[in-house]
Amino acid sequence: MTRPATPYDPAQDGAQMEFDGRMSYGDYLALDKVLSAQNPISNAHDEMLFIIQHQTSELWMKLAIHELLAAKAKIAESDPSPAFKMLTRVARIFEQLNSAWQVLRTMTPSEYEEFRDQLGQSSGFQSYQYRAIEYLAGNKNAAMLRPHAHLPQVHGWLEGLLKDTSLYDEALRLLAREGFAIDASVLERDLSLPHQENQSVRAAWIEIYRDPRRHWPLYELAEKLVDFEDYFRRWRFNHVTTVERVIGFKRGTGGTSGVAYLRRMLDVVLFPELWSIRADL
């Protein structure tokens, strides 16, 4: 008769098993705080899904902001190479965020209606981290500060991002420092407004794309920006289709027109010249 195998004891291989006064996995990640932050206010089974979906999205956005700020700083220092890895990471973050919509789509309209009224006026439209990403990417709109007026510290942070250079602004300033003839109207514009497509910027990117070996760092920077916007657009599109699937054309809980508002956002282009020159090439 075969004797049962002795259960494996990780301590025999040197694993630390006692954590009295030692840093543990849960301590390092503050899991007591993270895992106690899910507090449904209804009895609906799917509210837990809804909360976790949005909380994890906010965590990924926090990392995206961390990377975008660092990438912008490197480009401003005329050292774009480290920014390539950072921008690649941001694109992959949005790939992760895109995948998350697939989980939320398992919730049906009737399941959402079980707790929707409990949300009050709260809405993803009010995410200040998402607004920060938009400002960093160049989609500047001062009107979008108003939902955060009740949070002075957050409002001040966002206002600073609104009035500061965007990621694309720094890329265009880098082009000018590298000898490309970028119009003064681009370099000295009101930073609180979105960048408008400009012929001098188009001409610079066309020259770079037509001779990538000569301008390799700028060529690679351009492609990293396109990659980021590509995944960002997909995230917006998946947001629209998920909302339409779950609530149809109802108004959003925050008072927006819901799907109609989100569809309007699909028309926003962050780096217009990098897309329009493709026809010229």
Look up residue 186 and give its two tokens.
């681009």
In this structure, the number of other CB atoms found within 10 A of the CB of residue 255 comes to 11
Q: How confident is residue 7, by pLDDT bands cut at 50, 70 and 90?
A: confident
pLDDT tens readout for residues 39-69: 999 999 999 999 999 999 999 999 999 999 9
pLDDT tens readout for residues 72-117: 999 999 999 999 999 999 999 999 998 888 899 899 989 989 998 8
Q: What is the pTM of this model?
A: 0.90
CA angle 231, 233, 234 (to 5 degrees): 65
How far is C-alpha 223 from the chain's CA centre?
18
What's the rounded Cα separation, in Å, for the pair 22 and 104? 38
Fold classification of 45-117+125-246+271-280 is Methane Monooxygenase Hydroxylase; Chain G, domain 1 (1.20.58)
State the Cα torsion 194-198-201-207 to the nearest 10°: 140
Q: Where along the chain do its domains lie? A: 45-117+125-246+271-280
Phi first, then psi: what are they for 251, rounded to 5°? -65, 150
* Known binding positions: 50-54, 112, 116, 239, 253
* Known binding positions for substrate: 50-54, 112, 116, 253
* Known binding positions for heme: 239
Task: Quote the radius of gyration of the chain (alpha carbons, Å).
Answer: 23
pLDDT beyond 60 at 255: no
